[in-house]
């Protein structure tokens, strides 16, 4: 059986997804930027699923070189799918290796490039699931906002735009490659290190807000359902999977972003 790649497998939801797939007998490639953290997760999964078929590979989404060397390591191997789970929400403006803003690079440009480079290796019917976020519903996007300047950057604003860009690009992918099952998943708000804002109010949110967030186990359920999908262009959230809203499907950004990556 061909493997499924889980990016960010060292993170909260990535780890749960990798373990669940392994329990179902699916071979999993754990794609991690830090091999030490990845190895720990691999050992944890093997401790509860001793016959799990796992592979650990380095994937750094902060640079095109990092993506290309990951793809190189997998060259020629058939793949059953990818869960583009890795993501970040930089607090401050910073540039990634290729000179683009970092949140946009890690959340949109590099997952899109990674997926595009792997397309020839996906088996017919392969599942491609891109992790988006509720925040995209409160976001708007113009092409020039894909490379925000320091003045235009905002931690949550840029994060929301990066996930909206990923949604548009996912739509284009589904339309150009009907032989694959291409969907997005939204975990709600999940208790992970990502929602730690590194601000003075963190202890207050721990008391008043964290108890109402989803666990990583619950947050990743829509993605696991999307990894079993039989069709494309659905927005997996909670227990539902409605078609992606027409306002996104009809946007000119769908083709514009496709041409860009």
Ligand X SMILES: NC(=O)c1ccc[n+]([C@@H]2O[C@H](COP(=O)([O-])OP(=O)(O)OC[C@H]3O[C@@H](n4cnc5c(N)ncnc54)[C@H](OP(=O)(O)O)[C@@H]3O)[C@@H](O)[C@H]2O)c1
Residues that bind ligand X (CB under 6 A): 8, 10-14, 33-34, 37, 59-62, 85-88, 106, 131, 133, 187, 189-190, 192-195, 216
Token duo for residue 179: 């032989």
Contacts of 257 (CB under 8 A, 6+ apart): 112, 165, 168, 169, 172
- In this complex, which beta carbon is closest to ligand X, that of residue 115 or of residue 133? 133
Contacts of 118 (CB under 8 A, 6+ apart): 5, 71, 74, 79, 82
Instruction: Work out how close the CB of 92 gets to ligand X at its nearest, in angstroms, rounded to a whole number.
Output: 15
Instruction: Work out how close the CB of 68 gets to ligand X at its nearest, in angstroms, rounded to a whole number.
Output: 14
Instruction: Work out how close the CB of 79 gets to ligand X at its nearest, in angstroms, rounded to a whole number.
Output: 18
Instruction: Work out how close the CB of 67 gets to ligand X at its nearest, in angstroms, rounded to a whole number.
Output: 9
Residue with the two structure tokens 């179902």: 24
Contact status, residue 44 vs residue 32, Cβ threshold 8 Å: no
For residue 82, the SS3 value is: strand
- In this complex, which beta carbon is closest to ligand X, that of residue 113 or of residue 255? 113
How far is it, in rounded angstroms, from Cα 106 to Cα 63? 8
- In this complex, which beta carbon is closest to ligand X, that of residue 60 or of residue 101? 60
- In this complex, which beta carbon is closest to ligand X, that of residue 26 or of residue 32? 32
């Amino acid at each position: 059986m061909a493997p499924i790649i889980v990016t960010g497998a060292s993170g909260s939801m990535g780890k749960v997804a990798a373990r669940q797939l392994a329990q179902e007998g699916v071979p999993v490639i754990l794609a991690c930027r830090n091999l030490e953290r990845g190895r720990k997760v691999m050992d944890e999964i093997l401790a509860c699923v001793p016959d799990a078929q796992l592979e650990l590979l380095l994937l750094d989404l902060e640079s095109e070189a990092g993506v290309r060397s990951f793809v190189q390591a997998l060259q020629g191997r058939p793949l059953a799918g990818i869960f583009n789970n890795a993501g970040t929400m930089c607090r401050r403006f910073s540039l990634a290796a290729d000179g683009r803003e970092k949140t946009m690079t890690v959340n949109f440009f590099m997952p899109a490039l990674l997926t595009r480079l792997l397309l020839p290796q996906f088996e017919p019917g392969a599942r491609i699931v891109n992790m988006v976020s509720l925040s995209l519903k409160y976001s708007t996007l113009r092409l020039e906002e894909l490379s925000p300047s320091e003045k235009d950057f905002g931690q949550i604003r840029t994060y929301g735009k990066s996930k909206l860009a990923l949604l548009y690009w996912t739509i284009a992918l589904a339309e150009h490659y009907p032989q694959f099952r291409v969907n997005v998943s939204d975990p709600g708000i999940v208790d992970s290190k990502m929602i730690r804002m590194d601000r003075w109010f963190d202890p207050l949110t721990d008391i008043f807000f964290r108890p109402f967030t989803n666990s990583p186990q619950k947050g990743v359920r829509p993605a696991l359902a999307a990894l079993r999908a039989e069709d494309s262009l659905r927005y997996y959230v909670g227990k539902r999977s409605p078609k992606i809203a027409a306002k996104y499907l009809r946007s000119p950004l769908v083709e514009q972003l496709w041409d860009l990556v």
